[in-house]
Structure 1
Amino acid sequence: MGNNLLKGKRGIIFGALNDMSIAWKVAEMAKEEGATFTLSNTHVACRMGEVVNLAKKTDSELIPADATNVEDLENVFKKSMEVLGGKIDFVLHSIGMSLNVRKKRVYHDLDYNYLQKTLDISAISFHKMLQVAFKLDAFNEWASVLALSYVAAQRTLYGYNDMADAKALLESIARSFGYILGREKKVRVNTISQSPTITTAGSGVKGFDGLMDFADRMSPLGNANAEDCARYCMVMFSDYTRKVTMQNLYHDGGFSSMGMSMRAMKQYNKSFDTGDVDDMY
């Protein structure tokens, strides 16, 4: 049962792919909290993926779009306002993909065509989304826009590759557009820096299982999962956070403030007992 945090609010959720997706959990929870919304993903995902089932489950219109295509995004916002009966109160950008990661290209041997795609899909799509909404005057006052980020935007994490560059750009866009949308439209724009989370995209990162375990051992509260993140999104979409904007909000069990935890140190010391020192590098 929800608490009607989003009762009467209208939104758009980009990026729900399957029930592992954070965006999927956000959609389910937003429905429980009284919101109406549309869903958007790529044409292929909408045609062949599981998101069709989510649309039925949440009584939502599914609008196919390439998030890097301005015309597609214009259609999403126009159709969403038409279907939902008014301007938009919240948007989730949960979009990220790196061909360099998928093709196992290391950071010092990137394919630059792949890099351009990484930045366009994972970050510049956010700018395009906000610019389209701004020009269409698609937001209600005090609307809330969220994009999902990761601590690799600030810190180097082995294997995260060019996605770290994309997340840094994503957070910069949130600050720059957050100022403009706040000043002109009273709209909030924030990023949520989430714990490593088992999703279709996250699982493609090299050594992801080890990263999950390390973060969990380092975090005093442990990793935040997809449902935890969805709950945080509900608060950020609600009227309780009207004056929070242009922030990168860490939702990671305390990982971002840690240097070394007791649990991580114990595991580190075990590596000396086995003589497996090379694994530390």
Structure 2
Amino acid sequence: MAYNLLKGKKGLIFGALNEQSIAWKVAERAVEEGAEIVLTNTAVSIRMGTIGRLAEKCRTIVVPADATSVADLENLMDRTMEHFGGKFDFMLHSIGMSPNVRKGRTYDDLDYDYLSKTLDISAISFHKAIQVARKKDAINDWGSIVALSYIAAQRTLYGYNDMADAKALLESIARSFGYIYGREKHVRINTVSQSPTQTTAGSGVLGLGDLMSFAENMSPLGNASAEDCADYVLTLFSDLTRKVTMQNLYHDGGFSSMGMSRRAMKTYEKGMRFDDVHQNQYPFGKEETK
């Protein structure tokens, strides 16, 4: 159901790759709610993905841009304003990638060149995009900027690796720039800490399936889907949240406020009983009993 939440608004969306992408869902819902959008991703992602089909559906353009390149971002802002005939109202940063994760490097054995790329792509690109938009005065007063984050920015989650550091930096950038942009232009900047979600980028995280299952059992409302996240992000683009800024907003079915749920505890107890039986059967391990 559409509510015309974004009627008359215009926005720029980073990171849609394919139908699994949260950015893809946000783009679809933004148009359904009355917005006009411009899509952007790297040239290689545009070739690998199906963003062209999304552009056709949303009746818009795709502007190739490497979000780590200030020159590319300057061209992107110019072309976006040219397409809209002026400033726009909202921007979504849905970008994240870790070469260390892709290469299977663990957190205690990081490649530091890879780490630099992780931070640049997943967090510093957010700073660059905001800085370029501000210098070009590309976003209307009372506009909204949102980036997607994850609870690993605050808590240690096995397998999330150096992406946790990137998300922590991402949230810090939202707070620091939120003060500056809010004071000057009333532009609000927030991050949304989403449930673990089966996206192309997320699938590279070690043990994602187990993590999603654990979060589902822990959360009283269950995991939030990509579609759910899109609905939530739209409220942050709308005029209903004009005084919400510099916040990291959890959208995770209640996971972030839980200690231990009954379902998770039962699963834990079953695992402990299995371990006890296994230990009694093979006190010295299977190999030593042969």
TM-score (normalizing by structure 2): 0.94
- Structure 1 residue 275: Cα displacement: 1.9
| 1:1-281 → structure 2 map (5 Å cutoff) | 1-275=1-275
Q: Deviations over 1:164-221 (max 9, x none)?
A: 0000000000000000000011100000000000000111100100000001111010
In structure 2, distance between residues paired with 1:150 and 1:276: 34
Q: What is the SS of the residue equivalent to 1:197?
A: coil
Query: Which structure has the larger Rg?
Result: 2
Q: After TM superposition, give the deviation of residue 12 of structure 1 in Å.
A: 0.2
**Aligned CA distance change for structure 1 residues 276 and 194 (closer, same or farther; 3 Å):** farther
Percent identity, aligned pairs only?
Answer: 71
Q: Which one-letter code corresponds to 1:273 in the other structure?
A: R
Q: Match of 2:237, as an amino acid?
A: F
1:245 & 1:185 partners in 2: Cα distance?
A: 12
Amino acid corresponding to residue 122 of structure 2 in structure 1: S
Encode CA deviations 1:86-109: one digit per residue, 9 max, x unaligned. 211000000000000011100000
Residues of 2 paired with 1:234 and 1:78: CA distance?
A: 24
The one-letter amino acid of 1:155's match is R
Compute the RMSD of aligned alpha carbons: 1.1
Aligned-partner Cα distance in 2 for 1:192–1:276: 41
Structure 1 stretches of 4+ moved >6 Å: none
Which stretch shows the higher mean deviation, 42-51 or 261-270? 42-51
Q: Which moved more, 1:21-30 or 1:82-91?
A: 82-91
- Measured after TM superposition, the shift of residue 26 of structure 1 is 0.2
TM-score w.r.t. the length of structure 1 is 0.97
Judge which range, 268-277 or 51-60, deviates more.
268-277
Alignment gaps of 5+ in structure 2: 280-290
Q: Tell me the amino acid that sits aligned with residue 156 of structure 1.
A: T
Structure 1 Cα separation of the partners of residues 131 and 225 of structure 2:
31
SS of residue in 2 equivalent to 1:38: strand
The whole-number CA distance in structure 1 between the counterparts of 2:119 and 2:272 is 40
How far residue 276 of structure 1 moved from its aligned partner, in angstroms, is 7.2
Report the alpha carbon displacement of residue 48 of structure 1 after superposing the two structures with TM.
3.8
User: Counterpart amino acid of 1:60?
Assistant: T
Unaligned runs of 5+ in 1: none
Task: Give the deviation of 1:49 after TM superposition.
Answer: 2.0
The amino acid that maps onto 2:26 is V
- 1:93-131 Cα offsets, whole Å, 9 max, x none, are 000000000111000000000000000000000000000
| Letter of the 1:25 counterpart | K
